[in-house]
Amino acid sequence: LLSIDFKPGQLVSGAPGGAGPQGPQGLKGNTGTNGTDGAPGLQGPKGDQGAQGTQGPTGPFPSTLPSGKTVVGVFDVEGNAAASGGVLTSQLSYVFRAPDQTEVYIKSGTTDPNCPGTHTDPTANAGFTCIYEQASIAASSNRGINFRSTSGVSLYVFSAGSGFFGMYGTWAATAP
């Protein structure tokens, strides 16, 4: 007889039967959503000091400009004169000592064989300081180099009249 052969309430319930065999594993479920990022971790301990680096190269020059090396710069001598003959001076510093130099002042529009450059590209042959005047303003023809030392030169310019006057340009010095 089967339980379906009886009407409800006609069967007496007996003790439950034992567990049946385990069924097969179910299908894999979908991947869940990512969780939120955790808080940053603590900073790690300080690392060991690195190894000593190698000695760098020697600086560009000693105190005296080495033979064949060139330094360049600009100059600007400007001011006001009360009358003709007013004078201004200015100094050019080589930064390094440059002994045994011959100085050449090249007025605007002129050249010199020992100074093959220009005011836009100043150069000097070995043993020369070349001062390239780019322009003069209300200056007399009496202008140029006043004196020299191993550290640089001094320039001067006289006014042609009263008012604003001066000169400006570039320079190059090459050690012999």
E strand intervals along 26-101: 70-81, 87-93
154 residue type, one letter:
S
Query: pTM of the full predicted structure?
Result: 0.65
Segment 68-105, tens digit of pLDDT? 999 999 999 999 999 999 999 999 998 888 888 899 99
Confidence at 11, pLDDT banded by 50, 70, 90: low
Burial category of 91 from C-beta neighbours within 10 Å (exposed 0-12, middle 13-18, buried 19 and up): middle
Q: What is the mean pLDDT of residues 132-151?
A: 94
* Percentage of residues in the chain having pLDDT higher than 70: 93
